[in-house]
Amino acid sequence: VARVTATGTGHASGLVDELVGVVGERHVLVDPDMTAGYAVDWTGRFRGSTPAVVRPGSVEEVADVVRLLARRGIPLVAQGGNTGMVGGSVPTAGEVVLSTRRLDRLEPVDALAGQVTAGAGVVLDRLHEHAEAAGFTFGVDLGARSSCTVGGMIATNAGGIHVLRYGSMRAQVVGIEAVLGDGSVVEHLAGLEKDNTGYDLAGLMCGSEGTLGIVTKARLRLRPRFDHVVTAMVPVGSMAAAMEVAATLRATVANLNAVEMVGRAALDLVADHLGVAPPVRAEVVLVVEAAAHHDPSEELAAGLEACGELAGEPAVAVDGAARRALWRFREGVTEAVNAAGIPHKLDVTLPAAALAEFADHVGDAVHRLDPSTTTYLFGHLGDGNVHVNVIGLAPGHDADDVDRAVFELVVAHHGSISAEHGIGTAKRDFLHLNRSPAELAAFAALRRAFDPAGILNPNVLVPT
Ligand code: FAD
Ligand code: MLT
Ligand code: ZN
């Protein structure tokens, strides 16, 4: 695979002319001032450079761009909202960036099927508004909702705050249109709930991180819109107690929407960052939510009551502004951590029986390796998913040591090194901790089949 220099001379300028021929001059960016924002990730940890950002406006243009890059053997990185957390959306090895943001057509909601077809560049907020205007909701929601795109969420199999009710992105996708590595277009968008006609290409695209195809459109499942929502912020004395509370709520609250967690250090950090005192403080704080066609307040209160003394006195909110004020202490952690330093974001899942033990020891394990670090814990406790964010690594310290220490602890407890963010470039060299040689060989064979020229995001997941 050829590497293109960012100088714009010779080889690269011929390339730019060809790209302009496909999408028009306005949609090929080469000026480093214009491309800079596409070449660095949200955390500031992963930086690269690119000879060109190309912004196709249709599936035909995507196919033509991919075909011409495949012919020249030039690698590309697909990019949606660039909110990914694992360095998978930026051109760390000088790749061309294919931005999907212009593929933003949203078709009318099909109320009979309870589905909608959305372009890959549709931003999550807009999808939610569109679904809600038709009496539905979309099952995935997450803090990057004002920027992340349908294509990026499919490519990362995004999770977020409602997985315990609706599943992750994979559970919402019923059909796909995508451009494969040779420029061919696969399209299966009928959205039939039952359709046993061979391999599930839509499912394969979920979590493929732009290595098997460029998603251009998706047929998405919608869920009923609930007009009554109650949110509670619950103080809990320990992670073990928080796991018990989560289990009791899952077992007793039929309309449970979310069980989210913020550890004490993360709560103090986000409160400082917001300049607002949290309504409750404890070793662990849970943000829990129920939603239904009727007011679910009593149902949630009964669930909390069933937790006995494990759950402290909650702060409860039912109207939109008050609920958002509680959510800021959970969703604001990402921004607060970023403001405190460039983070190592480790996103892991543990079996329920091992999670508290892991959470109680992971900070110490990191601190022993590098005493200048601070570790923050937060995440989606209802799904066993903890975000371990480490900041303040000593200069010159090998950051891989910290990642390795955390991952080895995860694997020792039979957990996964990536719950929802994916592998990207950040965790690529650790994938063998969770996947066997036979699985990695199958991954590589899939890549070769879908992308014979090896141009689709070749540096992520399993290197080509
Ligand atoms: P990008 O960052 O642009 O790309 C991500 C990956 O997908 C890259 O590998 C890229 O090459 C590939 N890709 C993008 N578009 C396409 C396409 N059309 N076809 C093929 N490949 C493509 N994630 C969660 O799972 N849960 C959360 O709760 C969560 N909360 C977040 C909160 C904040 C504040 C932020 C900043 C991020 C959060 N994220 C979360 C991470 C991120 O938002 C998700 O990973 C999201 O799915 C990425 O979407 P994107 O459009 O920004 O993709
Ligand atoms: C979250 O749950 O807040 C997101 O996954 C983002 C993050 O990990 O910072
Ligand atoms: Zn998350």
**DSSP line for 185-198:** EEEE----S---SS
**Shortest-distance atom of ligand 1 to CA 168:** 25
DSSP characters over 292-311: ESS--HHHHHHHHHTTGGGB
- Tell me, what's the pLDDT at 399? 80
For residue 204, how many other CB atoms are within 10 A of its CB?
16
Cα(252) to centroid(ligand 1), Å: 33
**Shortest-distance atom of ligand 1 to CA 213:** 20
- Tell me, what's the pLDDT at 463? 72
Structure-block tokens of residue 95: 């790749």
pLDDT, one tens digit for every residue, the chain (464 residues)? 444 444 443 456 699 999 999 999 999 999 999 999 999 999 999 999 999 999 999 999 999 999 999 999 999 999 999 999 999 999 999 999 999 999 999 999 999 999 999 999 999 999 999 999 999 999 999 999 999 999 999 999 999 999 999 999 999 999 999 999 999 999 999 999 999 999 999 999 999 999 999 999 999 999 999 999 999 999 999 999 999 999 999 999 999 999 999 999 999 999 999 999 999 999 999 999 999 999 999 999 999 999 999 999 999 999 999 999 999 999 999 999 999 999 999 999 999 999 999 999 999 999 999 999 999 999 999 999 999 999 999 887 778 899 999 999 999 999 999 999 999 999 999 999 999 999 999 999 999 999 999 999 999 998 76
Ligand nearest to the CA of 343: 2
Q: Which residue, judged by its Cα, is nearest atom 7 of ligand 2?
A: 334
Q: Which residue, judged by its Cα, is nearest atom 44 of ligand 1?
A: 84
Burial of 261 (0-12, 13-18, 19+ CB in 10 A): buried
- Tell me, what's the pLDDT at 382? 96
**Shortest-distance atom of ligand 1 to CA 42:** 36
The C-alpha atoms of residue 120 and residue 122 are separated, in whole angstroms, by 6
* Alpha helical stretches, state H, 230-319: 239-252, 264-274, 297-305
Q: Which of 62, 65, 85 to mutate to test the pocket of ligand 1 (most atoms within 8 A of CB)?
A: 85
Structure-block tokens of residue 141: 């929601």
Q: Residues 230, 235, 236, 242: is their CA dihedral positive or negative?
A: positive
Residues 143 and 334 sit within 8 Å (Cβ to Cβ): yes
pTM over 0.85: yes
**Is 257 touching ligand 2 by the criterion CB < 6 Å?**
no
Q: Which of 381, 385, 392, 386 is nearest to 344 (CA)?
A: 392
Cα(384) to centroid(ligand 3), Å: 11
- Tell me, what's the pLDDT at 462? 87
Residue with tokens 């073990």, as numbered in its chain: 240
Cα(450) to centroid(ligand 1), Å: 21
Q: Which of 187, 123, 203 is nearest to 155 (CA)?
A: 203
Helix (H, G, I), strand (E, B) or coil at 217: strand
**Shortest-distance atom of ligand 1 to CA 142:** 28
Phi, psi of 234 (to 5 degrees): -120, 120
Structure-block tokens of residue 158: 């995004």
Cα(111) to centroid(ligand 2), Å: 32
- Tell me, what's the pLDDT at 396? 78
The C-alpha atoms of residue 387 and residue 381 are separated, in whole angstroms, by 10
Q: Which residue, judged by its Cα, is nearest atom 1 of ligand 2?
A: 379
Ligand nearest to the CA of 146: 1
Ligand nearest to the CA of 156: 1
Helix (H, G, I), strand (E, B) or coil at 393: coil
**Shortest-distance atom of ligand 2 to CA 380:** 2
Pocket of ligand 1 (CB under 6 A): 42, 77-85, 88-89, 100, 120, 142-144, 148-149, 151-153, 155-156, 158-160, 209-210, 214-215, 334, 420-421, 457, 460
Cα(84) to centroid(ligand 3), Å: 11
Q: Which residue, judged by its Cα, is nearest atom 2 of ligand 2?
A: 379
**Shortest-distance atom of ligand 1 to CA 120:** 18
Q: Which of 41, 45, 85, 385 to mutate to test the pocket of ligand 2 (most atoms within 8 A of CB)?
A: 85
- Tell me, what's the pLDDT at 403? 95
The C-alpha atoms of residue 192 and residue 194 are separated, in whole angstroms, by 5
Structure-block tokens of residue 322: 């008050």
Cα(349) to centroid(ligand 2), Å: 13
Phi, psi of 35 (to 5 degrees): -90, -15
The C-alpha atoms of residue 88 and residue 209 are separated, in whole angstroms, by 7
Q: Which residue, judged by its Cα, is nearest atom 9 of ligand 2?
A: 334
Q: Nearest 5 degrees, angle CA 44-CA 416-CA 271?
A: 50
Q: Which residue, judged by its Cα, is nearest atom 8 of ligand 2?
A: 387
